[in-house]
Amino acid sequence: MILLFCGLSGAGKSTLAEKVKDKLAAENIFAEIIDADVYRRCLFKDLGYSMEDRFENIRRLGFIANKFSSHNIITIVSAINPYDTIRRELISAYKNVRVVHIDCDVDELIRRDTKGLYKRAMLPEGHPDKLSNLTGINDPFEAPQNPDVYVNTHALGEKECTNKICSFILNSIVKEKYLYNTYTHVS
Ligand SMILES: Nc1ncnc2c1ncn2[C@@H]1O[C@H](COP(=O)(O)OS(=O)(=O)O)[C@@H](OP(=O)(O)O)[C@H]1O
Ligand SMILES: Nc1ncnc2c1ncn2[C@@H]1O[C@H](COP(=O)(O)OP(=O)(O)O)[C@@H](O)[C@H]1O
């Protein structure tokens, strides 16, 4: 199964991916997280934030995710993933792709602003530090219309969000008789 965790920067994709992974590990279910921010820094240094580059980023992440997923590893792709077209492309290309919308009100994201990106995006035009294409501020985010799971991290705490996502995964495993790997957790 490939889970596309999509949502704006700071919404909670990475936090929830780690928590979901830990909760599944407690049930001896192995999950792999493909965090776009990490892959961009290590492997995809050639990509920026134009629509074309974002499409290419998601295509590459999807390709890698499918390698893990084809070995029956629950695979979480944590990326803003703002465009419906490319999400649909992955859904058509690979088996068992599910969309998890990690939503959060923009006002709350501006308050969190853990990376200082929102502050930079809201600087006046012409300011040398202004970020010109931050998703949700001055670049589009097409919210998934029918996500398999929806959580709003302003309305729900980390634990509630984690439980909701894990319940979906565990129910899917049962329904689809998903062959999942078990492993010995080494801390
Ligand atoms: N202009 C702009 N827009 C969006 N995001 C920006 C931008 N510049 C830098 N960053 C940082 O890059 C991370 C988003 O990369 P993604 O690969 O998830 O984006 S995308 O799916 O290709 O749209 C995102 O990471 P997260 O905060 O984890 O979402 C940001 O830290
Ligand atoms: N319900 C929640 N779920 C996830 N993160 C939350 C929640 N409430 C507050 N947060 C905080 O929001 C921030 C989300 O950051 P992060 O997970 O890096 O977001 P993203 O990966 O989407 O950019 C963290 O500081 C986290 O502690």
Spatial separation of the C-alpha atoms in residues 73 and 39, rounded to whole Å: 19
Residue nearest to atom 6 of ligand 2 (CA): 12
Q: Which ligand is nearest to the CA of 111?
A: 2
pLDDT of res. 173:
85
Tell me the HSE value of 58 on the side-chain side, using a 13 A CA sphere.
26
Residue nearest to atom 22 of ligand 1 (CA): 54
pLDDT tens for the chain, 187 residues: list them.
999 999 999 999 999 999 999 999 999 999 999 999 999 999 999 999 999 999 999 999 999 999 999 999 999 999 999 999 999 999 999 999 999 999 999 999 999 999 999 999 999 999 999 999 999 999 999 999 999 999 999 999 999 999 999 999 999 987 666 556 555 454 4
Assess whether the C-beta atom of 11 lies below 6 angstroms from ligand 1.
no
Are the C-beta atoms of 152 and 104 separated by less than 8 Å?
A: yes
The domains found in the chain, sorted by start residue, are 2-175 (3.40.50.300)
Ligand 2: atom nearest CA of 80 is 22
Assess whether the C-beta atom of 87 lies below 6 angstroms from ligand 1.
no
Alpha carbon of 95 to ligand 1 centroid (Å): 26
Q: Which ligand is nearest to the CA of 100?
A: 2
pLDDT of res. 176:
67
Ligand 1: atom nearest CA of 39 is 17
Q: Which ligand is nearest to the CA of 10?
A: 2
pLDDT of res. 178:
57
Are the C-beta atoms of 137 and 122 separated by less than 8 Å?
A: yes
Alpha carbon of 93 to ligand 2 centroid (Å): 30
Residue nearest to atom 12 of ligand 2 (CA): 12
DSSP the chain: -EEEEE--TTSSHHHHHHHHHHHHHTTT--EEEEEHHHHHHHT-TT--SSHHHHHHHHHHHHHHHHHHHTTT-EEEEES----HHHHHHHHHHSSSEEEEEEE--HHHHHHH-TTSHHHHHTSPTT-TT--S--BTTTB-----SS-SEEEETTTS-HHHHHHHHHHHHHHHHHHTT----------
pLDDT of res. 187:
46
Cα end-to-end span (Å), the chain: 25
pLDDT of res. 174:
74
pLDDT of res. 181:
58
Q: Answer yes or no: is the ipTM higher than 0.85.
A: yes
Spatial separation of the C-alpha atoms in residues 170 and 40, rounded to whole Å: 30
pLDDT of res. 180:
60
